[in-house]
Amino acid sequence: MATIQPIAENEQHPDVALVERVRAGDVSAYDTLVRKYERQIFRIAQHITQNREDAEDVMQDAFLKAYEKLEQFQGNSKFYTWLVRIAVNESLMRLRKRRTGRMVSIDEDVETEEGSVPRDLADWAPNPEQNYTQAELGEILRKTIQGLPQGFRVVFVLRDVEQLSTEETAETLGLSVPAVKSRLLRARLQLRERLTRYFRKKKGSKEAGPKETGVEK
């Protein structure tokens, strides 16, 4: 999985040169940017819309919109962060269309107190993911993160999966830094708690127990 590496202040991010080439009319430079970030943008759109078709549309619309608005890109934030902001907005708009008459925002459902304090304190088996096939594990991880409130899920995805900084996440979502920090802690604790149901160390054994059948508990 690609990660976004921090760059030194006086070092130019390679995307800046690509953006300049696109502005000069080099279409292949934009294709390079699309190839570099398409997987991340698709993931983010999937996490927010929770719908495969919507995620495909959002990804396409976000890249087309970014291309059309490229003149507005100032370069004082990273191209990727700017692109993510467009994709998040497109995803939320898509949700609003699906749920007509109902506002959709990243502030939805965040008032819950669930998971703000760890309750299930069982340790995990060593390498617990090895007790599941890749398909089973994917299903567990998807179901678990889908169960988080939207406002927690998107913060976790941007901070911990896509590895944006706290400040970049706050800027992208239009939240304060303390709000991002508060949501991130609760998202991490809730996911940890929910994954413990699958990954806990079995009593009386240093190793994980026999493989569970199915992933639902």
Partner 1 sequence: MTCTEFLAQLDDLIDESVTAEMRADLREHLRGCEHCEVTLDTTRKTIEIYRSHEIYDLPSAVSQRLHAAILARCKKGC
- Decide: 77 and 170 in contact? Cβ < 8 Å: no
Nearest approach in angstroms of CB 90 to partner 1 is: 14
Which residues, in sequence order, are bridge partners of residue 124? 200
CB atoms within 10 A of CB 196: 18
Site of interaction with partner 1 (CB under 8 A) = 1, 22-23, 25, 27, 30-31, 34-35, 38-39, 42-43, 46-47, 55-56, 59-60, 63-64, 67-68, 70-71, 117-118, 121-124, 129, 137-138, 141-142, 145, 156, 160-161, 163, 181, 184-185, 188-189, 191-192, 195-196, 199
CB-wise, 10 or 135, nearer to partner 1? Answer: 135
Nearest approach in angstroms of CB 105 to partner 1 is: 22
Contacts made by residues 3-11, CB under 8 angstroms, sequence distance 24+: 3/163, 4/78, 4/80, 4/162, 4/163, 4/164, 6/165
CB-wise, 17 or 64, nearer to partner 1? Answer: 64
Nearest approach in angstroms of CB 8 to partner 1 is: 19
Nearest approach in angstroms of CB 149 to partner 1 is: 16
Residue 12 sits at φ, ψ, to 5 deg, of -80, 130
Q: What is the C-alpha to C-alpha distance for residues 57 and 42, in angstroms, rounded to an integer?
A: 9
